[in-house]
């Protein structure tokens, strides 16, 4: 890969999913490295802490027995939503039939067909509630939850329009999370019981 630098102010180099695939093939990046590609910017993700694992595992235990057979549950799976956008949500729910592979070999699901994305965060709360929420909204993801792994509070984002979610709701520790999608009506997750 040749990178040309022009005189004056340097411009950031934007990467694509294809570039990332080449970096993986060349050994520049390892498959197990925790990175996301956000609008062409390669971002290193923080390591998951104990509280995040506890909450994520509690969610998985609640979700798995309730999901219909035709549902796809992605757990820290790479999701390509555009040429320069690779995300690794903690949990993702969609119809199995909505999944396909991109030419670069990553999973893709059209944003409006994704039923729910969940991020469990500790140190990245502002990032997940801000930049990532805007990315999911821009791609039409219907519902996006951010759960504070330490405090067991949550922010529920619904109704994406013009790259934003309408009035995200902040839920306290004594609240119960319930997805809006009809296909997930059987799911409920009391925040206080996640861990």
pLDDT in tens, 185-194: 999 999 999 9
pLDDT reported for residue 137: 97
pLDDT at 161 over 80: yes
Q: What percent of the chain has pLDDT over 70?
A: 94
pLDDT at 125 over 60: yes
Q: Which residues contact 42 (CB under 8 A, 6 or more apart)?
A: 15, 20, 35, 36
pLDDT 10s digits, 48-58: 789 999 999 99
pLDDT at 133 over 60: yes
Q: Which residues contact 35 (CB under 8 A, 6 or more apart)?
A: 20, 29, 42, 43, 44, 45
pLDDT reported for residue 24: 86
CA distance 30 to 102: 19
Mean pLDDT of the chain: 90
Instruction: Record the tokens describing residue 185, joined without a space.
Output: 């009506």
CATH class, domain 46-193, is alpha beta
pLDDT reported for residue 118: 98
Reduced 3-state DSSP string for 160-174: EECCEEEEEEEECCC
Q: Which residues contact 28 (CB under 8 A, 6 or more apart)?
A: none
| Across 156-172, average pLDDT | 93
Is residue 5 very low, low, confident or very high in pLDDT (cuts 50, 70, 90)?
Answer: low
pLDDT 10s digits, 6-47: 566 666 778 888 888 888 888 888 888 888 888 888 888 777
């Amino acid at each position: 890969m040749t990178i040309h630098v022009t005189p004056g102010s340097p411009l950031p180099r934007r990467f694509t999913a294809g570039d990332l695939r080449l970096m993986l093939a060349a050994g520049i990046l390892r498959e197990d490295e925790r990175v996301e590609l956000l609008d062409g910017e390669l971002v290193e993700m923080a390591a998951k802490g104990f509280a995040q694992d506890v909450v994520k595992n509690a969610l998985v235990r609640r979700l798995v027995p309730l999901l219909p057979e035709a549902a796809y549950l992605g757990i820290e799976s790479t999701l390509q939503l555009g040429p320069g956008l690779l995300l690794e949500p903690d949990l993702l729910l969609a119809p199995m039939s909505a999944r396909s592979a991109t030419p670069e070999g990553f999973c893709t699901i059209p944003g409006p067909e994704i039923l729910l994305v969940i991020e469990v965060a500790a140190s990245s709360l502002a990032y997940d509630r801000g930049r990532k929420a805007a990315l999911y909204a821009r791609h039409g993801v219907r519902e996006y939850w951010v759960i504070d792994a330490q405090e067991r509070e949550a922010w529920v984002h619904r109704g994406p329009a013009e790259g934003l979610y309408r009035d995200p709701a902040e839920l306290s520790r004594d609240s119960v999370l319930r997805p809006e999608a009809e296909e997930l009506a059987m799911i409920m997750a009391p925040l206080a019981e996640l861990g």
